[in-house]
Amino acid sequence: GNSVTQMEGPVTLSEEAFLTINCTYTATGYPSLFWYVQYPGEGLQLLLKATKADDKGSNKGFEATYRKETTSFHLEKGSVQVSDSAVYFCALSFQGGSEKLVFGKGTKLTVNP
Protein backbone atom coordinates (compact mmCIF):
# COMPACT_ATOMS: atom_id res chain seq x y z
CA GLY A 1 0.00 0.00 0.00
CA ASN A 2 0.89 3.67 -0.03
CA SER A 3 2.70 5.07 3.00
CA VAL A 4 4.86 7.93 4.21
CA THR A 5 7.72 7.72 6.71
CA GLN A 6 9.06 10.79 8.49
CA MET A 7 12.04 11.20 10.75
CA GLU A 8 11.30 10.74 14.42
CA GLY A 9 10.89 13.86 16.48
CA PRO A 10 10.93 15.99 18.39
CA VAL A 11 13.51 18.24 16.79
CA THR A 12 14.90 21.15 18.81
CA LEU A 13 16.99 23.86 17.16
CA SER A 14 18.32 27.27 17.98
CA GLU A 15 17.15 30.25 15.98
CA GLU A 16 18.95 30.66 12.63
CA ALA A 17 19.97 26.99 12.52
CA PHE A 18 19.56 24.87 9.39
CA LEU A 19 16.57 22.54 9.31
CA THR A 20 16.13 19.21 7.56
CA ILE A 21 13.14 16.93 8.16
CA ASN A 22 13.43 13.68 6.24
CA CYS A 23 10.47 12.16 4.42
CA THR A 24 10.37 9.04 2.28
CA TYR A 25 7.39 7.39 0.66
CA THR A 26 6.20 4.08 -0.70
CA ALA A 27 3.65 4.24 -3.46
CA THR A 28 2.32 2.36 -6.45
CA GLY A 29 2.65 4.91 -9.19
CA TYR A 30 3.76 8.51 -9.07
CA PRO A 31 2.04 10.55 -6.36
CA SER A 32 2.00 14.24 -5.66
CA LEU A 33 3.85 15.15 -2.48
CA PHE A 34 3.00 17.70 0.18
CA TRP A 35 4.22 19.23 3.38
CA TYR A 36 1.57 20.44 5.82
CA VAL A 37 2.25 22.44 8.99
CA GLN A 38 0.19 22.55 12.18
CA TYR A 39 0.91 25.51 14.46
CA PRO A 40 -0.12 25.18 18.11
CA GLY A 41 -3.88 25.42 18.47
CA GLU A 42 -4.48 25.72 14.73
CA GLY A 43 -5.56 23.48 11.88
CA LEU A 44 -3.35 21.93 9.22
CA GLN A 45 -2.07 24.33 6.56
CA LEU A 46 -0.53 23.46 3.24
CA LEU A 47 3.11 24.57 3.31
CA LEU A 48 4.32 23.41 -0.12
CA LYS A 49 3.80 20.75 -2.74
CA ALA A 50 5.36 19.09 -5.78
CA THR A 51 3.47 17.15 -8.39
CA LYS A 52 6.19 15.41 -10.40
CA ALA A 53 9.76 14.20 -10.17
CA ASP A 54 12.46 16.89 -9.79
CA ASP A 55 9.87 19.54 -8.97
CA LYS A 56 10.83 21.83 -6.10
CA GLY A 57 8.13 23.20 -3.84
CA SER A 58 8.90 26.31 -1.83
CA ASN A 59 7.13 28.66 0.56
CA LYS A 60 8.09 30.91 3.50
CA GLY A 61 11.77 29.97 3.10
CA PHE A 62 11.03 26.24 3.19
CA GLU A 63 11.94 24.00 0.25
CA ALA A 64 11.51 20.36 -0.72
CA THR A 65 12.49 18.55 -3.92
CA TYR A 66 10.63 15.52 -5.28
CA ARG A 67 13.27 12.81 -5.73
CA LYS A 68 11.87 9.80 -7.55
CA GLU A 69 15.14 7.84 -7.48
CA THR A 70 15.27 7.94 -3.67
CA THR A 71 11.47 8.23 -3.15
CA SER A 72 12.09 11.20 -0.91
CA PHE A 73 10.73 14.69 -0.26
CA HIS A 74 12.92 16.16 2.48
CA LEU A 75 11.93 19.53 3.96
CA GLU A 76 14.69 22.14 4.40
CA LYS A 77 15.04 25.68 5.64
CA GLY A 78 18.28 27.60 5.81
CA SER A 79 17.57 29.66 8.91
CA VAL A 80 14.69 28.79 11.23
CA GLN A 81 12.82 31.25 13.42
CA VAL A 82 10.99 30.82 16.70
CA SER A 83 7.75 31.26 14.77
CA ASP A 84 8.52 28.08 12.79
CA SER A 85 7.84 25.97 15.89
CA ALA A 86 5.08 23.59 14.83
CA VAL A 87 4.35 20.03 13.79
CA TYR A 88 5.24 19.22 10.18
CA PHE A 89 3.50 16.47 8.21
CA CYS A 90 4.65 14.94 4.95
CA ALA A 91 1.86 13.53 2.78
CA LEU A 92 1.13 12.04 -0.62
CA SER A 93 -1.87 11.97 -2.88
CA PHE A 94 -2.76 10.70 -6.33
CA GLN A 95 -4.36 13.01 -8.86
CA GLY A 96 -7.67 11.75 -10.10
CA GLY A 97 -9.77 9.26 -8.21
CA SER A 98 -10.02 9.77 -4.47
CA GLU A 99 -7.12 12.27 -4.11
CA LYS A 100 -7.09 11.47 -0.40
CA LEU A 101 -4.00 12.44 1.55
CA VAL A 102 -1.85 9.76 3.16
CA PHE A 103 0.14 11.34 5.99
CA GLY A 104 3.29 10.54 7.87
CA LYS A 105 3.23 10.64 11.67
CA GLY A 106 4.45 14.20 11.90
CA THR A 107 7.64 15.79 13.27
CA LYS A 108 7.45 18.32 16.06
CA LEU A 109 9.89 21.20 15.68
CA THR A 110 10.78 23.55 18.53
CA VAL A 111 12.96 26.56 17.81
CA ASN A 112 14.54 28.28 20.79
CA PRO A 113 15.62 31.95 20.77
Q: Rg (Cα) of the chain, in Å, rounded? A: 14
Shortest spacing between CB 56 and other proteins, in angstroms: 15
User: % helix / strand / coil in the chain, to the nearest 5?
Assistant: 5, 50, 45
Contacts with other proteins, 32-51, as mask; x by CB under 8 A: x-x-x-----xxxxx--x-x
Site for other proteins in 5-34 (CB under 8 A): 32, 34
Q: Give the strand order in the sheet containing 75-77.
A: 19-21, 75-77, 62-65, 56-59
Residues that bind other proteins (CB under 8 A): 4, 32, 34, 36, 42-46, 49, 51, 89, 91, 93, 95, 98-106
